[in-house]
Amino acid sequence: MPTPIRISVPIEVRYIETDQMGRVHHASYVAWMEVARTRLCAESGFSYAEIEAGGHFLMVVGLELRYSGAALYGDTVRVDCWVSELGSRTLRFGYEIFRGEQRVTSGSTYHVWVERANGKPCSMPAMLREPFARLAGRL
Amino acid sequence: MPTPIRISVPIEVRYIETDQMGRVHHASYVAWMEVARTRLCAESGFSYAEIEAGGHFLMVVGLELRYSGAALYGDTVRVDCWVSELGSRTLRFGYEIFRGEQRVTSGSTYHVWVERANGKPCSMPAMLREPFARLAGRL
Amino acid sequence: MPTPIRISVPIEVRYIETDQMGRVHHASYVAWMEVARTRLCAESGFSYAEIEAGGHFLMVVGLELRYSGAALYGDTVRVDCWVSELGSRTLRFGYEIFRGEQRVTSGSTYHVWVERANGKPCSMPAMLREPFARLAGRL
Amino acid sequence: MPTPIRISVPIEVRYIETDQMGRVHHASYVAWMEVARTRLCAESGFSYAEIEAGGHFLMVVGLELRYSGAALYGDTVRVDCWVSELGSRTLRFGYEIFRGEQRVTSGSTYHVWVERANGKPCSMPAMLREPFARLAGRL
């Protein structure tokens, strides 16, 4: 069974990310997941900024989160991210967010590759096949 | 089978809600769903601000979105929201977001009732039982 | 002395716009000002989306806010916006934000016209001169 | 003349912080300034989270930004922050944001101390006087 590369990104909670419940707003985690995904992409050898510049978007078409705890202002959380499914035209990332030892959120995002020029779904760019297979733990 | 009350909220896309793909960022929909949920709660006769002031939070513990299209700056989208599951201690809302006739996003949020004073899960506040049963189409 | 056209936009405070102080976060007002600016532009007969599609950006180069009160979740605030300075290459908008009768924020944004194709500052697009002079109360 | 302590915080631009102009939205800088302010406060020996827990808010009452360039997704900007004015009841912070060698934004925020219990303006908490005088370069 393949073991995907799992990266961990420390993220300092921003005051603006809290709400009047006195904890991090549930949408803020979506932004953190994106930060971790950016960092994981960079592990492939191609930054997501380069991938876009090269003519492709990795468009989000699905999003799922489960909250089992709360992050607070003052915390530095740890956001883990890995490739959980690798298709020829799609990609799923898994995420876990920790506050110390406690997992406060887990989730996934589902993506399709899109050609920037025409906005149409397409296959994964050829140059990324090997690097992403490596991220996914298949090589 | 119960037919829940379904509200529709028009929301004008904000420039800040777009990203460099030239369309609305996927996390912006989460904020819109919250606006619609607020509006639906008010239909119960109790605004969510009053519910909180009364000592309870309706905490988000799950979130799910599927994107089938894109909203753009310049659009006024329509966000539909309804109670899709009503438990004694939990609540699920369903959402559909439309750009004209096209459904661009659908999703749900899952919630537990929490006592503000101690942060512990609790039953739905008694005063809300009938109003929310009405929202859920059970009365 | 010219009297600019002043528009008033009602904005319902979003939960996500609050922070753990229990009131609206100071950056949320910046988003609201943008909503009002969008609405004022539309009064010119050209929506900002059309202006951009036509090849120009009205880029923000300065921002100023003073806070004299707080908006709360549950409020529908009123955001007023008008053209306060009209140059051949620059534009300033004024803003006042009210919670009921109380002005909670006032501010301004300063802008330059930029050609979308090359990112360079430019003169106000010719087609907008008369409409914006009208907004500014000069016609 | 006092030389305040100046901290520099590297911040990786988030995709969500961009807009359809293809660059960082002007409001995103406000969030970054807050991150740097949090970091500077911590230099005093008291984190802002502790200051709040201790019963005080450092409320924003003024905000000023000038943009002379743009940060892009893919950048790690540097946000500098220092105490620029230290009053007995007020505080001003200065900020400069750099993309490589280029300063893209500069600004300031103006604050008053507020008692958390009653929301009233107050003097700087006694325990912070010396630490903040040190930050301001007066000791």
Of the residues B2, B8, B14, B19, only one is catalytic, namely B19
How much is the pLDDT for A2? 79
Radius of gyration of chain C (CA): 16
How much is the pLDDT for D20? 98
Cα separation, D115 vs C25, in Å, equals 17
Among all chains, which residue has been given the structure tokens 């989460």? B30
pLDDT mean over B18-39: 98
Q: What is the dihedral of CA A119, A124, A127, A133, to 10 degrees?
A: 150
Nearest alpha-carbon partner for C108 in B14, D29, D64, D28: D64
Taking an 8 Å cut-off on Cβ atoms, the answer to whether B59 and A30 are in contact is no
Q: Which of C21, C27, C57 sits opposite D57 (nearest CB)?
A: C21
Q: Using CB atoms within 10 A of its CB, is residue B14 exposed (0-12), middle (13-18) or buried (19+)?
A: middle
Cα separation, A63 vs A107, in Å, equals 8
Q: Which two tokens stand for residue B12?
A: 């004008």
Taking an 8 Å cut-off on Cβ atoms, the answer to whether C65 and D63 are in contact is yes
pLDDT of residue B1 exceeding 80, the answer is no
How much is the pLDDT for A78? 98
Q: Which residues are CB-neighbours of D26 under 8 A, at least 6 positions away?
A: C30, C60, C63, D65, D67
Strands D90-99 and D102-115: antiparallel
CATH number for A7-135 (one of 3.10.129.10, 3.30.1280.10, 3.40.50.2300, 1.10.220.150): it is 3.10.129.10
Taking an 8 Å cut-off on Cβ atoms, the answer to whether B21 and A59 are in contact is yes
Search chain A and give the residue with CA nearest D48: A74
pLDDT of residue C1 exceeding 80, the answer is no
Cα separation, C16 vs C25, in Å, equals 9
For chain A, where are the alpha helices, taking DSSP H only? 28-43, 48-53, 126-135
Query: How confident is the model over A93-138, as pLDDT tens digits?
Result: 999 999 999 999 999 999 999 999 999 999 999 999 999 999 999 9
C30 contacts chain A (CB < 8 A) = no
Q: Which two tokens stand for residue C89?
A: 């290459």
Among all chains, which residue has been given the structure tokens 């995002």? A109
Task: Yes or no: say if A109 and A92 are a contact pair by the CB < 8 Å rule.
Answer: yes
pLDDT of residue A1 exceeding 80, the answer is no
Taking an 8 Å cut-off on Cβ atoms, the answer to whether A16 and C20 are in contact is no
Between the two ends of chain D, the Cα-to-Cα distance in Å is 11
Query: Domain segments of chain A: what residues?
Result: 7-135
Q: Cβ contacts (< 8 Å) between C61 and chain D: which residues?
A: 66-68
Going from the C-alpha of D89 to that of each of D48, D53, D56, D114, the distances in angstroms are 17, 19, 12, 9
Among all chains, which residue has been given the structure tokens 């989160």? A65
Taking an 8 Å cut-off on Cβ atoms, the answer to whether B20 and D22 are in contact is yes
Among all chains, which residue has been given the structure tokens 């300065």? C62
pLDDT of residue D1 exceeding 80, the answer is no
Query: How many degrees, rounded to 5, is the angle at CA B127 between CA B125 and CA B130?
Result: 105
Task: Yes or no: say if C8 and C79 are a contact pair by the CB < 8 Å rule.
Answer: yes
How much is the pLDDT for A139? 85
DSSP for C88-127, written as a single string? SSEEEEEEEEEETTEEEEEEEEEEEEEETTT--B-PPPHH
A19 a catalytic residue: yes
How much is the pLDDT for D100? 97
Average pLDDT over chain B, rounded to an integer: 97
Q: Cβ contacts (< 8 Å) between C72 and chain D: which residues?
A: none
- Amino acid residing at D122: C
What chains are in contact with D, requiring at least 3 Cβ pairs below 8 Å? A, B, C
Average pLDDT over chain D, rounded to an integer: 97
Length, in residues, of chain C: 139
Give, as one character, the DSSP assignment of residue A16: G
Q: What is the dihedral of CA C37, C40, C46, C49, to 10 degrees?
A: 30
Q: Which two tokens stand for residue D112?
A: 């008053």
Q: Cβ contacts (< 8 Å) between B15 and chain D: which residues?
A: 19-20, 25
Query: How confident is the model over D77-122, as pLDDT tens digits?
Result: 999 999 999 999 999 999 999 999 999 999 999 999 999 999 999 9
Q: Which two tokens stand for residue D92?
A: 């001003």
Cα separation, D110 vs D86, in Å, equals 10
| pTM exceeds 0.90 | yes
- Amino acid residing at B20: Q
pLDDT mean over B10-35: 98
Give, as one character, the DSSP assignment of residue C45: T
pLDDT mean over D62-75: 98
Average pLDDT over chain C, rounded to an integer: 97
Query: How confident is the model over B70-113, as pLDDT tens digits?
Result: 999 999 999 999 999 999 999 999 999 999 999 999 999 999 99
